[in-house]
Amino acid sequence: MTSQIFRRLTTTPDVMKIFSDTAMVQAMLDFEKALAVSEAKCKIFDEGFAEIIGSNCNVEKFSIADLSDKSVDHGTIVVPLVRRLIQLVASSDKSASGWVHFGATSQDVIDTAMVMQLKKAIKVLKKDILRIDSALSTLIEKYGDQVMIGRTLLQPSVPIKFEQKLSGWRSAISRSWDRVEKSASEALLLQFGGAAGNLSALGVDGEKVRKVLSNLLNLDMSNEVWHVHRDRFVALCSSLSILVGALGKTALDISLLMQFEVSEVFEKTNLERGRSSAMPHKRNPVGCLIALSAAKRVPHLLATLVDAMPHEHERALGGWQVEWVTIPDIVETTAGSLAAIAGLCENLEIDQEKMKNNLDSLNGLFMSEKVMLELSKKIGKEQASQIISEACSASISKNQHLKDVLQEDIRFMKLIDQSTLDKLMLLE
């Protein structure tokens, strides 16, 4: 597991809390409490027993360190957790202790606890999605009409409006979030199948208990046993990976626009944020760094889940267990990226004058495509391309505006009149 220091650099306190050891154990105990109540409601045992079991399903009565140590011997935390719960219940009523965890198995507890944690996490992530959407909408309204250099293969191409970049970021992030919500609605389901997925210990009462348990935990049920079919979990994490990629694209664009040689946008800084340890003049793009780090990390975590999808028969050996740390890692890293981009977009500084100056510095070269296409109507594209390419080379070598070079080219001016050239060189 990542150190707490580095972990905090890549996620948010709210999501860290959701996936903390304490929260995880409490989610497991919430399952055990709901299970006891469900079975009591279905008349499997006395409701008084369910009350005693439920009253002991409090994480404060458990030692996280002890559970952690003992889980090593069992390959799961559920065995020592259930044993401790039985001890606590037995101290009040030995008869009640015999009904703890009745009809359930470790996977029911772990999977359902994970679902409950994920459900909470998705709600937290959405808050930053809304922040990003609002911030980008504001930037579009305020700066969208600003003309800037479009860049392809890291080289100047043709003029574009800043809105094109902003709307592209916004749309990609929005589409990605829609995928997350759709896959979450399909994945966040109750897991309750007993030893091998058929609730054998509960017999004819199994389905009845499952329905009550589903209602108590406010979790939907699947129509089929899914404990060895992990496609829904993988699809959710795949959607999160795509979202992180979209956030990474935004971060990459911003970091490139922040380069000193470009200086068209800026991540808001202060005397401390982004400060270099060696070079006082530097202000590093911290938000971009976090989002780009996530974009490079999450796809590999996703690959782990995809690789682990083939589960042996009715309980996996290793494939299921790898999810326990990988899924929270993906969600936590996604949270860090979202928070970074939200803060970045809310405080993004735009230098409109620099955008204009960068355009002007190209001496009209960005209009070469438009001019070539107009000339192509007269002499064909191949010959037109040759003439305009020569003019561009002359513009660069002489540091002269493309329009001035073309005005001196007899070949060009025989075919394109001055009025047309003037129009071609205008920014629209």
d(CA 388, CA 248): 37
Between strands 147-152 and 155-161, the pairing is antiparallel
The predicted-structure confidence for 163-197, as pLDDT tens digits, reads as follows 999 999 999 999 999 999 999 999 999 999 999 99
Q: Do domains 4-356 and 362-424 have the same CATH topology?
A: no
CATH topology for 4-356 is Fumarase C; Chain A, domain 2 (1.20.200)
The predicted-structure confidence for 283-306, as pLDDT tens digits, reads as follows 778 899 999 999 999 999 999 999
pLDDT of residue 10: 86
Q: Where are the domains of the chain?
A: 4-356, 362-424
Confidence check: pLDDT of 270 > 70: no
Q: Would you place residue 276 in the very low, low, confident or very high pLDDT band (cuts 50, 70, 90)?
A: very low
Please report, rounded to a whole number, the percentage of residues in the chain having pLDDT higher than 70: 96
d(CA 142, CA 419): 34
Judge contact between 83 and 71, C-beta under 8 A.
no
Q: Which of 98-102, 236-240, 302-306, 416-420 has the lowest mean pLDDT?
A: 416-420
Strands annotated E in 205-347: 265-266
Rounded to 10°, the helix 231-258/286-307 angle is 160
The predicted-structure confidence for 19-31, as pLDDT tens digits, reads as follows 999 999 999 999 9
pLDDT of residue 223: 87
136-165 average pLDDT score: 95
d(CA 428, CA 423): 10
253-273 average pLDDT score: 84
Q: Record the tokens describing residue 315, joined without a space.
A: 């309980």
Residue in 254, 334, 256 with CA at minimum distance from that of residue 293:
334
- The pTM of this model reads 0.92
Between strands 147-152 and 265-266, the pairing is unpaired
304-331 average pLDDT score: 94
pLDDT of residue 379: 94
What architecture does CATH give domain 362-424?
Answer: Orthogonal Bundle (1.10)
Q: Which helix (H) or strand (E) holds 148?
A: strand 147-152
Confidence check: pLDDT of 341 > 90: yes
pLDDT of residue 286: 86
Q: Would you place residue 278 in the very low, low, confident or very high pLDDT band (cuts 50, 70, 90)?
A: very low
- The chain-wide mean pLDDT, for the chain, equals 93
323-345 average pLDDT score: 96
Phi and psi based region of residue 345 (left: phi greater than 0; alpha: psi -120 to 50; beta: remaining): alpha
